[in-house]
Amino acid sequence: MFPKYSVNPRPQDPDYAFQSLAVNMRGFPQNVANGNNNVVLNSEFRLPVFSTLFNKPINNAFLRNFQLIQFVDLGSAWNGKYNKLSRPEVVYGDTPAQVLIKAGGIGPFVGGYGFGARSTLLGYFLRLDAGWEMNGFFKGKPYLHFAMGVDF
């Protein structure tokens, strides 16, 4: 599964110096916002399922570390000063008939929410999240995010 990229163009002004990926916003394609500066606020509630249900040691690392999570992400990226901080938008069409679509979120921040699962397999931490844009209650298809690493 390859990452999906947003149609958000990268800035062309001289203040845009470095091109690298920051933490992706769950519920959105990669590059929903871009710029030299970024901020991400993340809140997760994690429930260790099998460790909570069974009152005895669990030898299997996958079951012992298995967690279900609920999350909310808020974030943005901008180029230059803070006065350029705004929620990303895409304009379709030419004047006089144009359609402006803002990404889901709150104020200048892009927002996403959803559910996921985490565990370990062969010493690697695995996570699978399903995230939706903050523009309705579970509106549309979720974006699936799979990650494998050495830390949650």
Gap between the Cα atoms of 40 and 75, Å rounded? 4
pLDDT of residue 2: 45
pLDDT band at 9 (very low <50, low <70, confident <90, very high): low
Gap between the Cα atoms of 132 and 30, Å rounded? 14
Q: Give me the residue spans of the domains in the chain.
A: 37-149
pLDDT of residue 1: 47
Is the per-residue pLDDT at 54 higher than 80? yes
Give the DSSP H/E element, type plus range, for residue 62.
helix 61-64
Is the per-residue pLDDT at 149 higher than 90? no
pTM of structure: 0.74
Is the per-residue pLDDT at 86 higher than 90? no
pLDDT band at 19 (very low <50, low <70, confident <90, very high): low
Is 125 strand, coil or helix?
A: strand
Tokens 């001289």: give the residue: 14
Q: Tens digits of per-residue pLDDT, 115-134?
A: 999 999 988 899 999 999 88
Task: State the average pLDDT for the chain.
Answer: 79
Query: Which has more pLDDT, 30 or 13?
Result: 30
pLDDT of residue 97: 80
Is the per-residue pLDDT at 48 higher than 60? yes
